[in-house]
Amino acid sequence: MKNTFGNNLTVTLFGESHGNAVGAVLDGLAPGIAVDEEFIRFQLSLRRPVGDISTARQEPDHFVIQSGVFEGRTTGTPLCIVIPNENTRSQDYGDMRGKARPGHADYTAYAKYHGFEDPRGGGHFSGRITAALVAAGAIVLSALKGKGIAVGTHIARLAGLADRDFADWNADIATLAKKPFAVLDAKASMQMVSAITAAKKEGDSVGGVLETAVTGLPAGVGEPWFDTVEGLLAHALFSIPAVKGVEFGTGFDIADLRGSQANDPFRMEQGRVVTTTNHNGGVNGGITNGMPLLFRCAVKPTPTIFKAQDTVDFMQKQNAALQARGRHDPCIVHRARVVVDSVTAFTLYDLLAGRFGTDWLA
């Protein structure tokens, strides 16, 4: 299925960094979902580079909905959204052809596409393509919200600096929804910005960890094998460039606990089954248990840096030195979080649509 994801809601992604446009096709949306173009614009603004701590490439992201919306609502037929590339400076990259940026996909793209890949700005591998995920994601996030399902992501760690944990789930998600730099603790937020600026000055980059919470999910969604909630989410999340790890609930730290510590005791609360801890991140046996879904993504430091690096010229088959130019991000963690929200929305909508039918989310 390659660049398509999902069973009952599918997302198909296309585009290159310096080509005509990037875009996505959403198929399987319920008919009648209100499409809020203002919210799409806002979500795209959260992904857009911010001041000093991001790339100088500023794209206006003038999206066009080509199909699937009529009189402001989804029709239920495929929705194609296209975002033209307007600010491209391909000459920045011309003489780098063949020189693999370490940590980037230049060499693997060549190994796969034999040199026919579009090399300008990373081509189809560029973070630019995530703009399409965010635009499409905004529509799906709205639909979920209409069913009482809220998704929010914060920067749990950046350059070794930690944000506070989620406390009041719904309030924190609401707070994050409006923040361009999604950190719950104001002091940590300032420190993180400073850390990005410092790395930038050195021509270097930093990474971090994004933590996501989802509230309002019913219990009983997901499959026992293969199409587990964790498996489907991880499948989608790992396609976000730079994500190198995904963990649920207590994640890797659960490995050092005993069963008596890691098990989440069940209790009745106002006629509802709840757990008193959430080490399992809202999922048991691959299926939601009605508690908040909680997971984290490890985001590596942006591979394109301005320090000299050892590499190869894979076309000449020889060692080479690399000195990157162009416009790049010293950190993409803050820009990636709205991509995480979007990809999470696709995955959950897909599971819910399979469970409750096409019309449930309208």
Q: Residue 149 CB, nearest distance to its own copies (Å)?
A: 16
Exactly one of 205, 212, 215, 344 binds its own copies (CB under 8 A); that residue is 205
Task: Pick the stretch among 42-50, 120-128, 140-148, 177-185 that binds its own copies (CB under 8 A).
Answer: 120-128
**How big is the site for its own copies, counted in residues (CB under 8 A)?**
158
In whole angstroms, what is the distance from residue 124 CA to residue 139 CA? 23
**CA 315 vs CA 17, 107, 118, 205: distances in Å:** 22, 9, 15, 27
In the block, which residue shows the tokens 């003489």? 95
Interface with its own copies includes 5 (CB under 8 A)? yes
Of the residues 22, 141, 196, 340, which one makes contact with its own copies according to CB under 8 A:
22
Quote the tokens at residue 173.
């998600």
Of 38, 168, 178, 268, which one interacts with its own copies (CB under 8 A)? Answer: 268
Residue 327 makes contact with its own copies by CB under 8 A: no
Kindly tell me which of 152 and 303 has the beta carbon lying closer to its own copies: 303
Binding of its own copies at residue 147 (CB under 8 A)? no
Tell me the window of 39-47, 143-151, 183-191, 223-231 that interacts with its own copies (CB under 8 A).
223-231
Using CA atoms, how far residue 215 sits from 146, 234, 290, 346, 360, in Å, is: 13, 18, 8, 15, 18
Per CB under 8 A, the list member of 182, 299, 338, 345 interacting with its own copies is 299
Which has the closest alpha carbon to 181: 47, 303, 350, 10?
Answer: 47
Residues 6+ apart with CB under 8 A from 107: 100, 312, 314
- Which has the closest alpha carbon to 203: 98, 300, 94, 309? 309
User: Based on CB atoms, which residue is closest to its own copies, 152 or 241?
Assistant: 241
Q: Quick one: 177 or 251, whose CB is closer to its own copies? A: 251
CA dihedral angle for residue 248, residue 250, residue 256, residue 257, rounded to 10 degrees: -120
Instruction: Give whichever of 205 and 344 is closer to its own copies, judged by the CB atom.
Output: 205
Task: Answer yes or no whether residue 323 interacts with its own copies by CB under 8 A.
Answer: no
Q: Which is nearer to its own copies, 52 or 269 (CB)?
A: 269
* Interactions with its own copies, residue window 56-85 (CB under 8 A): 64-68, 70, 73-80, 82
Q: How far is the CB of 185 from its own copies (least distance, A)?
A: 17
**Identified binder of its own copies from the candidate list 188, 222, 292, 348, rule CB under 8 A:** 222
Q: Between residues 177 and 349, which has the closer beta carbon with respect to its own copies? A: 349
Residue 345 in contact with its own copies, rule: CB under 8 A: no
Q: Is 216 in the site for its own copies (CB under 8 A)?
A: no
Closest to its own copies by CB, 153 vs 275, is: 275
- Counting contacts by CB under 8 A, is residue 98 touching its own copies? no
Instruction: Give 222 or 292: the residue with its C-beta nearer to its own copies.
Output: 222
Using the rule CB under 8 A, give the single segment among 38-46, 47-55, 173-181, 296-304 that binds its own copies. 296-304
User: Residue 302, interface with its own copies (CB under 8 A)?
Assistant: yes
- Which contacts of 277-284 are long-range, i.e. CB under 8 A and separated by 24 or more positions? 278/249, 279/249, 279/250, 279/254, 280/248, 280/249, 280/250, 281/248, 281/249, 281/250, 281/251, 282/214, 282/217, 282/248, 282/249, 283/222, 283/228, 283/229, 283/230, 283/248, 283/249
Distances from the Cα of 63 to the Cαs of 10, 37, 85, 173, 355, in angstroms?
Answer: 20, 9, 10, 26, 31
Is 239 near its own copies (CB under 8 A)? yes
Positive or negative, the CA dihedral 357, 217, 214, 179 is positive
Q: Indicate whether 97 belongs to the interface with its own copies (CB under 8 A).
A: no
Return all residues near 149 (Cβ < 8 A) that are at least 6 apart: 214, 215, 216, 217, 348
- Considering the rule CB under 8 A, would residue 32 count as an interface residue with its own copies? yes
